[in-house]
Chain A
């Protein structure tokens, strides 16, 4: 069983469209995250949620809206997609918010905006 699963794995879409990426974890963790990896492989946090509550919003444009229906799921909805949104998006989860907690990552979703 995959611990942190994201769907879809690949997403190709046109500028201006709206799209969603889903993430689910079966580790029983309380905390989930979204990270963005750009074309130079640089990884940066976007959001973190703890028990469905938003903890970190790292100055991400309003077009990105995370939603956590329960603590096992954290979805990412992106409105009005732009070329610069093309990247690999990783979902992760950890036991809690403590710095020592290991984050386990999903396989990533490669988003290409044309």
Chain B
């Protein structure tokens, strides 16, 4: 069965702290994609990053970085020097490369990040 686990339900940090959001996934597929989405208090879901199962290079985008490790089935997300605007619920998701899956995203439970001034 396919599953995504975000064990941290809530994280609270003070501004400028670094924070890492964990994501562990389960799949027997060899080809799959992993995503991170952000849901700010306004409620919309915003795409952050996509990774395919063959690309284990870490990625950095400004204060955001992602660490993909197939050996541990993890795709963790780090925010450096957090800001109040980073406060949101963050979702990790898995998509299987099978036609009959119809592009379905399997989401983790989400991690609610609160950044205090």
Q: Which of B35, B42, B45 has the most chain A CB atoms inside 10 A of its CB?
A: B45
Which chain A residues numbered 55 to 110 have a C-beta less than 8 Å away from chain B?
55-56, 58, 88, 90, 92, 94, 96-108, 110
Cross-interface CB contact of A43 among B32, B33, B102, B107, cutoff 8 Å: B107
Determine if A11 is an interface residue (Cβ-Cβ < 8 Å): no
Flag if A41 contacts B89 (CB, 8 Å).
yes
Using known A-B contacts A98-B97, A100-B52, A107-B43, determine if residue A56 contacts B109 with beta carbons closer than 8 Å.
Answer: no
CB A2 to nearest CB in B, in angstroms, measures: 10
CB pair A33 B44 closer than 8 Å:
no
* Number of interchain pairs (Cβ within 8 Å): 76
Residue A25 is within 8 A (CB to CB) of chain B in the complex: no
* CB contact between B45 and one of A98, A99, A105 (< 8 Å): that residue: A105
Q: Would you call B47 and A44 a contact (CB within 8 A)?
A: no
Q: Is B57 an interface residue (CB 8 A)?
A: no
With an 8 Å Cβ cutoff, the count of chain A residues facing the other chain is 32
* CB contact between A108 and one of B43, B95, B104, B110 (< 8 Å): that residue: B43
- Please give the number of chain B residues whose Cβ is less than 8 angstroms from any Cβ of chain A in the complex: 31
Smallest beta-carbon distance A71→chain B, Å:
14
The answer to whether residues A88 and B43 also contact, given A41-B89, A97-B99, A102-B50 and a CB cut-off of 8 A, is yes
Residues of chain A with a CB closer than 8 A to B25's CB? none
Q: A98-B97, A108-B44 are in contact. Are A103 and B103 (CB under 8 A)?
A: yes
**Option from B42, B46, B96 in Cβ contact (under 8 Å) with A99:** B96
A-B CB contact pairs (8 Å), 11 listed: A35-B105, A41-B112, A44-B107, A45-B105, A48-B103, A56-B101, A58-B104, A99-B97, A101-B103, A102-B47, A103-B103
- Residues of chain B touching chain A, judged by Cβ–Cβ distance below 8 Å, are 31-33, 35, 37, 39, 42-47, 50, 52, 89, 91, 95-105, 107, 109-110, 112
Closest 7 A-B residue pairs measured CB to CB? A55-B102, A105-B45, A99-B95, A56-B102, A48-B102, A99-B97, A43-B107
